Amino acid sequence: MSKRDEIATKLKAEIDELNIQLDAWEAKAVQLSDQVKQKYDTNMLEVRSKLDLAKSKLDEVQEVGADITDSLKDDAEDIWQDLKGAAQKIKSIFD
């Protein structure tokens, strides 16, 4: 498996896992008070925006040749870390 394929597979799996978690949070969100729901909605918008960016980066990774550049690899990892941080804000609402 090429480095590109490894990164793409990992990023796709992480995106899929996060989507499952987002669906679970959406189901729980209906029980939140109005004030907490407002915070949740704001954080969810941020996560969805960052998720779109991660999906775009995944597309970019999948389109390059087998020899992915370190820069693109680092970009994908940075975007994922940023997305995880945003998702953590939502998780903290339910903890």
- Estimate to the nearest angstrom the gap between the alpha carbon of 38 and the chain centroid: 21
| pTM for this predicted structure | 0.85
| % of the chain beyond a pLDDT of 90 | 71
Residue 66, pLDDT > 80, answer: no
